[in-house]
Amino acid sequence: MGVIARYREHLPVGPATPEVDLNEGSTPLVPSRNIGRALGLRHLYFKYEGLNPTGSFKDRGMVVAVAKALESGSRVFMCASTGNTSASMAAYAARTGARAIVVVPSGEIALNKLSQALMYGAKVVALKGNFDAALDAVRDVTNHYPVALMNSINPHRIEGQKTAAFEIVDELGDAPDYLFLPVGNAGNITAYWKGFKEYQAAGRTTRLPRMVGAQAEGAAPIVNGSPVLNPRTVASAIRIGNPASWEGATSARDESGGTIAAVTDTEILSAQIRLANSEGLFAEPASAAPLALLFRLVRDGKVEKDAITVVVLTGSGLKDPDAALKNVEPPIELDGDARTLAKVLKL
């Protein structure tokens, strides 16, 4: 069952909305076995969003955006993206027989990230200029032609993404004390907060979590309080200088009594490795940013030991193997038999 079928009554869908799903959502809430113990936290969980059909949480919002676009008669979808948004849009377009057009800035075309979009059959256009120019062009086209805009300014994406908050409450029986997640365009923090509040209004949770957002130091507009012209970080999914849902993020932070803070690339990569080699969970660098922030807040005594804490792992580590491989030992090359092997491995 996908998120539309599971949470229909909480979503802007009706009898005229076509059924679309790739079985997205219903991702596991994995209890920590080792990191929680090492930190002295008794109730630490990971919401493993990398297990969505295209490998990131983007599928939750995209399925609703696609269903609504089809409902309004659109058969062509367009977005400016080089990452997970384009992969997700292309998959749901393929699923529903619609056309997908992805516009990327020509200098920054990273083919490995576009391989999913290309495999799902999207048309990929490299436009001269930076990302903002690509987004402007996409907005312009979608304003003048019967083409649906699928970037995060599409409000249906937030609607779909809030279902992750519902799932956490459904599984824990109540909202956690803390929700940690990365913040890029800030659609996801906005969506989770909306989801928790709607569930509270519906009597499904008695309390709300503190929302804790992590940005990367070289791409921390919300932490700095002003846009970043040339955002830089290894965590490409949060390499955003001027978030589309800025306001949503600061409201979530302030209304919940939470915080949004920046972590360094070094902290992000070391959290990513620790998550993989001590929990068996491989997440992309952006997803490790909130874990890096958790390490710091625990060190500073800012998280109570018996707090129920959920860290959202937004995307699969397989999305960006290059980032991960820079920080691990390469395989040993050996010419020999079982005895040499045993000796080298110190068995």
**Residue 188, number of CB atoms within 10 A of its CB:** 30
| In the complex, minimum distance from the CB of residue 256 to ligand PLP, in angstroms, rounded to a whole number | 16
Is 223 a binding residue for ligand PLP by CB under 6 A? The answer is no
Given 184, 209, 221, 231, the residue binding ligand PLP (CB under 6 A): 184
Is 292 a binding residue for ligand PLP by CB under 6 A? The answer is no
Burial of 234 (0-12, 13-18, 19+ CB in 10 A): buried
Is 205 a binding residue for ligand PLP by CB under 6 A? The answer is no
| Binding-residue total with ligand PLP (CB under 6 A) | 17
| In the complex, minimum distance from the CB of residue 55 to ligand PLP, in angstroms, rounded to a whole number | 8
Give the residue with the Cβ less far from ligand PLP, 54 or 96.
54
Given 105, 182, 209, 317, the residue binding ligand PLP (CB under 6 A): 182
Q: Which stretch binds ligand PLP (CB under 6 A): 176-184, 259-267, 274-282, 294-302?
A: 176-184
Give the residue with the Cβ less far from ligand PLP, 159 or 284.
284
Q: Which stretch binds ligand PLP (CB under 6 A): 164-172, 180-188, 269-277, 291-299?
A: 180-188
Give alpha helix (H) positions in the chain. 3-6, 35-39, 58-71, 84-96, 111-119, 131-144, 155-161, 163-172, 187-201, 221-224, 246-256, 265-279, 285-299, 321-325, 338-344
Q: Judge contact between 295 and 271, C-beta under 8 A.
A: yes
Is 159 a binding residue for ligand PLP by CB under 6 A? The answer is no
Q: Token pair 């499904």 is at which residue?
A: 204
| In the complex, minimum distance from the CB of residue 63 to ligand PLP, in angstroms, rounded to a whole number | 15
Q: 178: which 2 tokens?
A: 């803390």
Q: 278: which 2 tokens?
A: 């001590």
Is 58 a binding residue for ligand PLP by CB under 6 A? The answer is yes
| In the complex, minimum distance from the CB of residue 343 to ligand PLP, in angstroms, rounded to a whole number | 42
Q: Judge contact between 289 and 283, C-beta under 8 A.
A: no
CA geometry: angle at 213 spanning 210 and 216, to 5°? Answer: 160
Given 13, 122, 169, 237, the residue binding ligand PLP (CB under 6 A): 237
Is 187 a binding residue for ligand PLP by CB under 6 A? The answer is yes
| In the complex, minimum distance from the CB of residue 188 to ligand PLP, in angstroms, rounded to a whole number | 3
Find the binding residues for ligand PLP in span 78-97 (CB under 6 A). 84
Give the residue with the Cβ less far from ligand PLP, 218 or 334.
218
> In this structure, are strands 43-48 and 29-31 parallel, antiparallel, or unpaired?
antiparallel
Given 56, 142, 151, 163, the residue binding ligand PLP (CB under 6 A): 56
| In the complex, minimum distance from the CB of residue 197 to ligand PLP, in angstroms, rounded to a whole number | 17
Burial state string for 271-290 with b = 16 or more CB within 10 A and e = fewer than 16: bbebbbeebebbbbbbbbbb
Three-state DSSP class for residue 90: helix
In this structure, what DSSP letter does residue 330 have?
P
Q: Say which amino acid occupies 280.
A: G
The 3-state DSSP composition of the chain as helix, strand, coil percent (nearest 5) reads: 45, 15, 35
| In the complex, minimum distance from the CB of residue 185 to ligand PLP, in angstroms, rounded to a whole number | 3
| In the complex, minimum distance from the CB of residue 58 to ligand PLP, in angstroms, rounded to a whole number | 5
How far apart are the C-alpha atoms of 232 and 234, rounded to whole Å?
7
Give the residue with the Cβ less far from ligand PLP, 208 or 240.
240
| In the complex, minimum distance from the CB of residue 240 to ligand PLP, in angstroms, rounded to a whole number | 6
Given 86, 151, 287, 309, the residue binding ligand PLP (CB under 6 A): 287
Q: 54: which 2 tokens?
A: 């295209």
| Residues found near ligand PLP in the complex (CB under 6 A) | 56, 58, 84, 182-188, 237-238, 284, 286-287, 314-315
